[in-house]
Structure 1
Amino acid sequence: MKVAILSRGTLPISKDSIKGTETWVYNFIRKFPKNNIKLELFSSGDSKVRIPIHSLHKKAYFNTPSIKNFNYRIFRNALISQAFIYKPKFDLYHDNTNCGDLIMSWAQFINRPILVTIHGNLFSPHLSIFFSIYKHLNNVYFVAVSQSQRKAIPSLNFIRTIYHGIDTNRFVFSVRGGQSGFWAGRGTPEKSPELVVKLFNKIKQPLYLAIIRENDKSQWLKNKVLKKIKSDRIKYRFRLKKSMMIKRYGKSKVLVMPYQWEEPFGLVMIESMACGTPVVAYARGSVPEIIKDGQTGFIVNSSEKDKRGDWIVKKTGIEGLLEAVEKIYAMPEAEYLEMRRNCRKHIEKHFTIERMINDYVETYKEVVADYKQKKQN
């Protein structure tokens, strides 16, 4: 079986990938077993992987100054069209461009099965209308990365839910951690770094922010986050390399992620726990599926009007975050070290890359067989 892996081309796919989707694609390719399934990647020319690469541009779009954010989409479409030109060569297309919206208009002309891993958020109102236009297609299959993700558009042709997994050999377990809080992600309102800064300004503990700067949100980041830092205890870095991220996870006391959207998965949460560092997060999206409340961190309801569960922390909003973080800082050492061990065990049991790839291998076979059956009927 030959499978085309479609990526966005916005950033290169390599060991230094820092955004969630690109990191996922790199690890998927790196750990995919050498068997009778052969992969080829459609991405930017500066990607560094061990499989053949097809590209339209030598450099990733993000690293090309003349291509602005609003132009990324037309270049992504061009890359997808190139991939479909090769359709006689492939038995299956595996789309990792976002949530499948980019490939739907092409899919009706492609007599090949397409598997979409939904890396984005489906809760935008226009998407349910958009996908309903293509409900007649029988060659597009969807993988959700969490059960919560399915709720937005349950009518999609979901074939399976497959949680993300990581290489636990790469994410080294740190027995004791450190004193600093940690936040990591895109510097955008939905990831809410400003709340974490506000929180750590208040509790007077050290904090480290690993920020991926989005060009169209740079002014918001400057005014709402960076200007609010009131102490040299709070430090930040842009585009922290993955090797440094792993060290930072291990050196941290707690990862705090007050998501303001329905987080589809949140790779940083499982990366942090793999290194032993517990997570405090709002009960949005996948969070209740990933954190074991009171064992690998704490889940907090985002407001009194939006209660998603009866969690250990009863306060809501930023007061709830404050209570949860202070609980972790106040824990007796033995209890905190036990929580760190629980974090690692939880990841080893549920979120390894080996388990994830096995699930995808089974899904590849299932999709190809199902589509073949449909064509015969």
Structure 2
Amino acid sequence: MKGVPTPEHLARVQSTLPANGTAPLKIAMVAPPYFDVPPPAYGGIEAVLADLSNALVDLGHQVTMIGAGRDGTRARFWQVWDRAVPERLGEPGPEIIYATLTRRVVENLAAAGEVDVVHDHTFAGPLNAPAYDAMGLPTVATVHGPVDSELRGYYQTLDRDLSLVGISRRQRSLAPELNWIGVVHNGLCPADWPFQREKKDYALFLGRFSPDKGAHTAVHAAHAAGLPLILAGKCAEPAEQKYYAEQVEPLLGPNDQMIGIADAALKRELLANARCLLFPIQWEEPFGMVMIEAMICGTPVVALRRGAVPEVVEHGVSGLLCDDPAELPAALRAVSELDPAECREQVVRRFSDERMAVGYVQAYRAALAERRRPRLAGRAGRAMARAGRLTSAGER
């Protein structure tokens, strides 16, 4: 599968793309290079990618996972690097190099007629969208992080070269001018997670050690409720270690326990046994994967009403939502009255891997249909249209 697509091939692809209907799609799934898919421990994006890819395959679609490290899904696997590089997370170099290499893979897939749409989950990868467009391929990017930051300008610059999928309605509402093509909530495979009705008497904080995640608030709330707290999560980078040492560790009491990163097995054990997941988020959380991981185990969530939390947790059913940290201790005492079976049912019904896959298929078909619509000629024309000097049916 070598070579660059010929003009004849591109014309053929554009005339036969399954933009509508039920025809199976050929999807190039571009994973970040930092963790295996699925990850052995930390790696929320990679966990979602694994479940999404497997569910798409189960629905009859052809998925080619483009990534680093090991082959861990039912999709076809094209290895870009022989190992994942978690130690280089945050460096610009790997992003740029990896984006260039993945573009060559997509070119090969396109030349062989093995791709209809590119679904990119990396930071630099969307810069390839104009090149993919020239091959007759739309690029769909899931926005895994917040858009009320410099990322907003980044996606604005890419404009209509890129079709964006939000992971919550709240996330999308913070930058409504971007080229959103849909909202698809994250999901997981329910069969991969245990259910446990009987709980032990501790609250669990599970997340990165960052002020945004609110571990310090979790400690205060658990102590006020007289409840032991177990803390688990990523605490490897200097900023995370500084935050933990200065704002969390001094607060810990003799009944609290700091575990650090929990692997897949330990995470499931901790979630299944906890009285509740304590999620005192301090920022515009775009989704909060750990919440549905808790709920699928039958464990309710006690959280602050921030970001997408109200979209994920149904107050009084799968958790208790608080408007102020001072309300958290009372919620911690009351949360054991919620039904674990209802918590799990919420995830099975609303956040399953199959539901997520169906949502993305709709997004892929929408991106394919959007690409077929008439467009203004060139970036200059689009810029004029945005300035109000030119209009076209191809512009929304």
TM range (shorter): 0.7 to 0.9
Q: Residues 249 and 277 of structure 1 are in contact (CA less than 8 Å); yes or no, is this contact kept in structure 2?
A: yes
- Superposed displacement of residue 54, structure 1: 3.3
Aligned to 1:74: 93
Where does structure 2 lack aligned partners over 5 or more consecutive residues? 1-24, 377-393
The letter of the residue matching 2:333 is: E
Cα deviation code 1:267-316 (max 9, x no counterpart):
11111111111111111111111111122211111xxxxxxxxxxxxxx2
Q: Does 1:223 align with 2:242?
A: no
Summarize the Cα distance change of 1:70–1:16 in structure 2 as closer, same or farther, 3 Å threshold: closer
Counterparts of 1:356 and 1:374, CA distance in 2: 30
Of 204, 216, 222, 1:194 maps to 216
Aligned to 1:41: 65
Q: Residues 303 and 309 of structure 2 are in contact (CA less than 8 Å); yes or no, is this contact kept in structure 1?
A: yes
Cα deviation code 1:245-285 (max 9, x no counterpart):
11211101011111111111111111111111111111111
Summarize the Cα distance change of 1:372–1:214 in structure 2 as closer, same or farther, 3 Å threshold: farther
Aligned length: 343
SS of residue matched to 2:344: helix
Structure having the higher Rg: 2
Counterparts of 1:23 and 1:134, CA distance in 2: 27
Where does structure 1 lack aligned partners over 5 or more consecutive residues? 302-315, 330-335
Of 178, 184, 197, 2:206 maps to 184
SS of residue matched to 1:22: helix
Aligned to 1:326: 333
Q: How does 1:100-249 map to 2 (within 5 A)?
A: 102-111=124-133, 112-124=137-149, 126-135=150-159, 137=160, 139-217=161-239, 218-231=241-254, 233-249=255-271
- Superposed displacement of residue 140, structure 1: 1.4
Of 268, 276, 279, 1:257 maps to 279
Q: Does 1:60 align with 2:84?
A: yes
Instruction: Give the superposed CA RMSD.
Output: 2.2
- Superposed displacement of residue 190, structure 1: 1.0
Cα deviation code 1:106-140 (max 9, x no counterpart):
3223322001111111111x3333333333x3x41
Q: Which moved more, 1:139-148 or 1:23-32?
A: 23-32
- Superposed displacement of residue 17, structure 1: 4.3
Cα deviation code 1:318-338 (max 9, x no counterpart):
211122112225xxxxxx2x5
Aligned to 1:306: none
Counterparts of 1:239 and 1:123, CA distance in 2: 28
Counterparts of 1:276 and 1:42, CA distance in 2: 34
- Superposed displacement of residue 56, structure 1: 4.0
Q: How does 1:279-298 map to 2 (within 5 A)?
A: 279-298=301-320
Counterparts of 1:288 and 1:364, CA distance in 2: 27
The letter of the residue matching 1:199 is: A
The letter of the residue matching 1:183 is: F
SS of residue matched to 2:131: coil
Counterparts of 1:38 and 1:118, CA distance in 2: 23
Counterparts of 1:167 and 1:48, CA distance in 2: 15
Counterparts of 2:100 and 2:320, CA distance in 1: 44
The letter of the residue matching 1:322 is: P
